Amino acid sequence: MAWYKGKTSAACMGVWFWLLPIAPALATTVSFTVNNLGGTNWEYNYSVSNDTLTSDIEEFTVFFDVALYQNLTLVAAPSGWDPLVIQPDPAIPDDGFYDALALSGGIIPTGSLGGFKVSFDYLGVGTPGSQAFDVIDPVTFATLDSGFTQAAAVPVPAAGGLFLGGITLLMSLFTRRRATE
């Protein structure tokens, strides 16, 4: 019977760890929301989080694929930031970009800042998605971090937590019942 209890507990622990979310790797995060302004005209609203760097983020660039974007327009930037838009150029061909430079300070380590907005015409199908980005040292022009933008996280409904709690309770009751048989 002791052998059975040990195996059941191990199985329950395996299920529990399977249900736990996997922690994401830390990296600079550029998240976005995207809104359709009508027809092919869209707007990205970016938020930048300094999750890994030990120094302030003073400049970052988000790239716009030449095959998917055109007519980039500055919409907004937080106070103290100088944004710049360069159009995608199919003649070269070269991607366009949205660049933002801090006029003083920047995004401190573990800090985040939103309100970086750009509108554009989307040439693709469906909803615009992830883009490449670089975090740049504005003095040396060295790339400090790179990655891909990600859609802003959608809050998990409370029912999801209740579901996981219920599964855990059921597994616990099952284990106790089997252990006493």
Output the domain CATH number for residue 94.
2.60.40.680
Query: CA-based Rg of the chain, rounded to a whole angstrom?
Result: 23
Same domain, 62 and 110: yes
Question: Can you tell me the distance from the alpha carbon of 43 to that of 37, in angstroms, rounded to the nearest whole number?
Answer: 7
Instruction: Please classify residue 44 by burial: count the beta carbons closer than 10 Å to its beta carbon, then call 0-12 exposed, 13-18 middle and 19+ buried.
Output: buried
Average of pLDDT values for 5-26?
44
Q: What is the pLDDT of residue 9?
A: 47
Residue with structure tokens 């400090």? 144
Domain count, the chain: 2
- Domain span at residue 61 reads 29-151
Residue 72 is inside which H or E element, if any? strand 69-76
Q: What is the pLDDT of residue 86?
A: 98
Q: What is the pLDDT of residue 22?
A: 42
Tokens of 171: 């597994």
Give the up-direction half-sphere exposure of residue 25: CA atoms within 13 A in the CB hemisphere.
2
Q: What is the pLDDT of residue 52?
A: 86
Average of pLDDT values for 89-108?
96
User: Greater confidence, 22 or 131?
Assistant: 131
Same domain, 77 and 13: no
Average of pLDDT values for 29-45?
97
